[in-house]
Amino acid sequence: MNARIGSEHPVAFSRDPVPAAAGVGLRHVHYDDFLTGAPPAAWLEVHSENYVCPGGPRLATLEAIRAHYPLSCHGVGLSLGTAEGLDVDHLGRLRQLIDRFEPGLVSEHVSWSTTQGAYLNDLLPLPYTEEALEVLVRNVGQAQEALGRSILIENPSSYVTFAQSTIPEWEFCIEAAKRSGCGLLLDVNNIYVSGRNHGYEPMDFLNAVPGDLVGEIHVAGHADMAFDGSPVLIDDHGSTVADAVWTLLDEALKRVGPKPVLMEWDLNLPPLDVLMGEAAKAQAMLDRIAGPAAEQKNVLDNVA
């Protein structure tokens, strides 16, 4: 089965396309839960860089679990915003991973994290300028050609802005997707965090995003902190989802329709049942959105 995001790069769903349902991230502390049982997750996401190795127990574990769940590969190391060009060796390793596990979705971040061959342990923000946009579009195109498929790009969380920025963040991400033929991974927690940190309205972001560009949605917890006496939100993925972010997810689904929704949790990992409970909240929202759409489709099918 083949589908397309954009106009140039095919998305090859060789196995198990990711459904428009709530999934969870597969983390090592939950390996045994998935190896000894069959937790009712609709799909799983892994961080690609954790599995770009030639063999060993980690890959064997993913092989065993992958047999029972649709999979998404979410990268953190491509540095799509770097002006120095992408690491072709890393692209090759990612291609091997993707060819082996045939994920339904592949994604990366609108950020940069490498310079002069050194990898920085962060997803750093870009200036939202035409020059940076051209770099991002070029790199996304290179990645898609190397991987043989479309990818999704995720709007970042950020804590500083650049005086040189001339393009609103949402317009920057949307234009990058349109020019490169990729799709958007809409992270509603990042929208909320960045909006609060920089003083823009999260709904301005949501209202601008075309639903047909969105291939996946992320939701996560964040930390409410202070820096030099000023409040700042940190996208730490270390807690349950805030009520305001659940509200934003609900609004996003109303605008873009049912999409795969990932419950992210990477810090202070809880027992699996707690993680699944958060995913169930997202699924309840998806079910409410899908209900009217399914009813309308049935009416149209009967008329036809």
| Complete DSSP assignment for the chain | -EEESSSS-EEE--S-PPPSSEEEE--GGGHHHHHHS----S-EEEEGGGS-SSSSHHHHHHHHHHTTS-EEEE-SSS-TT-TT---HHHHHHHHHHHHHH--SEEEEESSEEEETTEEEEEEEPPP-SHHHHHHHHHHHHHHHHHHTS--EEEPPP-S---TT--S-HHHHHHHHHHHHT-EEEEEHHHHHHHHHHHT--HHHHHHHS-GGGEEEEEEE--EEEEETTEEEEE----SPPPHHHHHHHHHHHHHH-S--EEEE--SSPPPHHHHHHHHHHHHHHHHHHHHHHHHHHHHHHHH-
> Which pLDDT score, from 0 to 100, does residue 54 have?
86
Provide the percentage of residues in the chain whose pLDDT is more than 70: 91
Domain count, the chain: 1
Segments of the chain with pLDDT less than 70? 1-14, 292-304
Place of tokens 């939701």: 219
pLDDT digits (tens, 9 = 90+) for 150-180: 999 999 998 888 999 999 999 999 999 999 9
> Which pLDDT score, from 0 to 100, does residue 123 have?
86
Q: Residue 265: which domain range? A: 2-303
> Which pLDDT score, from 0 to 100, does residue 292 have?
57
The CATH number of whichever domain residue 43 belongs to comes to 3.20.20.150
Q: What is the pTM of this model?
A: 0.89
- Amino acid identity of residue 298, one-letter, is N
CA–CA separation, 63 and 56 (whole Å): 11
CA–CA separation, 248 and 187 (whole Å): 10
CA–CA separation, 302 and 185 (whole Å): 34
> Which pLDDT score, from 0 to 100, does residue 9 have?
41
CB-CB neighbours of 85 under 10 Å: 12
CA–CA separation, 205 and 169 (whole Å): 8
End-to-end CA distance of the chain: 26
Angle, CA 25 vertex, CA 52 and CA 63 arms, to 5°:
50
> Which pLDDT score, from 0 to 100, does residue 11 have?
43
Residue 152 structure tokens: 């999704």
